[in-house]
Structure 1
Amino acid sequence: MKIDFKELLVRFRPLLGLIILAVIISLINPRFLSVNNILNVLRQTSINAVIAAGMTFVILTGGIDLSVGSILAICGAVSAFMIAADAGVAVTLFTTLSLGTILGVLAGIAITKGKVQPFIATLVGMTLLRGATLVFTDGKPISTGYDTAADIYAWFGTGYIFGIPVPVFLMIAVFGISYYVLKHTRFGRYVYAIGGNEEASRLSGVRVSRVKIAVYAISGLTSAVAGIILTSRLSSAQPTAGAGYELDAIAAVVLGGTSLAGGVGTVFGTLTGALIIGILNNALNLMNVSSYYQMIAKGSVILIAVLMDRKK
């Protein structure tokens, strides 16, 4: 059987880019390949990667979700408040995840039933939820406290299993479930079909509105998971948490090969894209590059990702 190397190159372009980036950085700074630094990169990447996993579902349908950072913030604030109020870890996790899912559902309803463009609907959600977070926290951090419940909660962000940070296992679990849903369920096939041709999917009997609401619910849920990871890691909820995270998530999805037009992409590609961004941030920190220049570099990566998408 003839191997189409050009097709393979296009298919595995994100992974190839990740490997090349890692090699270049390791040559510039040997500290990059240390075990502690690699684990640190994975832990830092986990938050953006988890958000990006949910974003992948949304973008595959041809949509966009700008509210993920604000959902992370409000969910983190609520979880910190509940832990501090001794509500219990199980109740706190359930409430936080439910809140993220409900907020995603509301965005989906506004888009499907209200006929609002995804960009506008989620932009409004981003602004409203950011304001709600500032009101809820009074513009101040909320500490989770120092009791037993707070220690258990902190384990999700700072704990280790077999020497590997817990957030890394949470990231793997989210991507494993996402992969199964997209590749081995009817719902996953509907997601790809809607992104490929929404009208044809509707005429084929697919309940497009329900699927779209579901993908925004998934995006809200993964944002809530990321909020738990970030809040538990810091042992406090910052009112400005998650600002700009939507850009990182979108960049990770597109860098991973998912088309902004929808219908094409994989969650493993998204994971690769998230790792590229995480490694880039880590490399710039190792080289003591100013945060101002880091913003320029990140913006450049997003631009490159969009240009790559347009050339497909």
Structure 2
Amino acid sequence: MTPPTRPRHRTGGHLVGAYGLLALTALLYLAFSLALPDTFPTQDTVDSILSNQSIPAILALAAMMPIVTGAFDLSIGYGLGLAHVMVLWLVVEEGWPWPPACLTVLAGGLAVGVLNGVVVEFGRIDSFIATLGTGSMMYAVTGWITDGGRIVAGPQGLPPAFTDLYDSSFLGLPVPAFYVLALAAVLWLVLERLPLGRYLYVVGSNPRAADLVGIPTRRYTVYAFAATGLIVGFAGVLLAAQQQIGNPSVGLDYLLPAFVGALLGSTAIKPGRPNALGTVVAVAVLAVGLTGIGQLGAEFWTVPLFNGGTLLIAVGLAGYAARRRLRGGAARDTPAAPPPSSPAPESATSPP
């Protein structure tokens, strides 16, 4: 007797969960295009979205990495502010050429990420508390470097080659959009196709099981924090090329959108777990929504209201998707019940 077939994994509900956020992006764009036909569906709007949302997208990808391992890095906003101030301080105040200044900041971001991972894993401090503490220390260093003021380039300005890191275009589109695509592709390859990514997911879903199978959970968590620090350093370089002024408090404005994008991204493409492509889609939803709201003439307070409300929705949806994924995995792993056996023939001597 053939065993009963199991239901296919990719059902209609799964497709809606995986690609619903992408469809929502298209619907939002269509709705705002119909409401604002003269201003929204234009090349200028597309260029503005791709350019202005590149740094939030990069920072959301940075925030995603510790979330993969079940941790959070609340220092990314402070790290972004310190990184962009350090680049401008080295170039403007110390007279460094911009390439070594950028490389130094990238190395510093990597070191800060490793420090965060070591404090969390080897210091046995909750990631919320640990990264909030290191972030406050970075904010103090930022204030010490700038003396509470701003770093402004002289009359000669910044080197054009440095500002072109953000201001230039390629194939008719802003270059920062290609940075986001390249970074998302690299993180997707690492997380979805390499053993490192599978180990990170195992560490995040079940650290005890990871220990039992011999995965060094502490080391891989430090790897995730190190990747975050490196990406934050890169985002700081781009922010310096964009702003061209060292503002010690600017990084804090990017903290909430980064976590909104990372958490909302775990409900798309691969529902139930953080993933690079889902994070990019989530940032696209936020970018289209905020741009449309801005062109409708909404008040300034609608932006934090939108981000905060979306964060609550993202956390709820991420938790629901994770629970659904676990239930689906448990159902697939449960062996099918054997078919009922045929009743034994009654004996000729059995009583009626």
TM range (shorter): over 0.9
Q: How many residues align?
A: 310
Identity %: 25
Q: Name structure 2 gaps, 5 residues minimum.
A: 1-6, 322-352
Aligned to 2:129: 120
Report the TM-score, using the length of structure 1 for normalisation: 0.94
Off by >3 Å, runs of 4+ in structure 1: 144-149
| Pairing 1:62–2:60 present | no
Distance 1:267 1:181, change over 3 A: same
Cα deviation for residue 184 of structure 1 reads 1.9
Aligned to 1:48: 56
Aligned AA (2:74)? L
Q: Deviations over 1:179-218 (max 9, x none)?
A: 1111221111111111111111111111111111111111
Contact 2:272–2:319 (CA under 8 A) maintained in structure 1: no
Q: Distance in 1 between matches of 2:80 and 2:280?
A: 19
Q: Distance in 2 between matches of 1:118 and 1:13?
A: 31
Cα deviation for residue 258 of structure 1 reads 5.2
Report the TM-score, using the length of structure 2 for normalisation: 0.83
Contact 2:169–2:175 (CA under 8 A) maintained in structure 1: yes
Q: Name structure 1 gaps, 5 residues minimum.
A: none
Aligned to 1:186: 195
Contact 2:272–2:318 (CA under 8 A) maintained in structure 1: no
RMSD of aligned Cα (Å): 2.0
| Pairing 1:38–2:61 present | no
Q: What SS does the aligned partner of 1:106 have?
A: helix
Q: Distance in 1 between matches of 2:77 and 2:153?
A: 20
The structure with the greater share of residues assigned to helix is 1
| Pairing 1:155–2:164 present | yes
| Pairing 1:96–2:101 present | no
Aligned to 1:197: 206
Q: What SS does the aligned partner of 1:64 have?
A: coil
Contact 1:144–1:236 (CA under 8 A) maintained in structure 2: yes
Aligned AA (1:60)? V
Distance 1:5 1:145, change over 3 A: farther
Aligned to 2:30: 23
Contact 2:256–2:307 (CA under 8 A) maintained in structure 1: no
Q: What SS does the aligned partner of 1:289 have?
A: coil
Structure 2 counterpart of 1:283, from 286, 292, 297: 292
Contact 1:63–1:118 (CA under 8 A) maintained in structure 2: yes
Contact 1:14–1:257 (CA under 8 A) maintained in structure 2: no
Cα deviation for residue 250 of structure 1 reads 1.1
| Pairing 1:266–2:275 present | yes
Q: Which structure's CA Rg is the greater one?
A: 2
Contact 2:114–2:226 (CA under 8 A) maintained in structure 1: yes
Q: Deviations over 1:137-186 (max 9, x none)?
A: 11112124465862111111211223221211211111111111112211
Q: Distance in 1 between matches of 2:204 and 2:312?
A: 22
Q: What SS does the aligned partner of 1:296 have?
A: helix
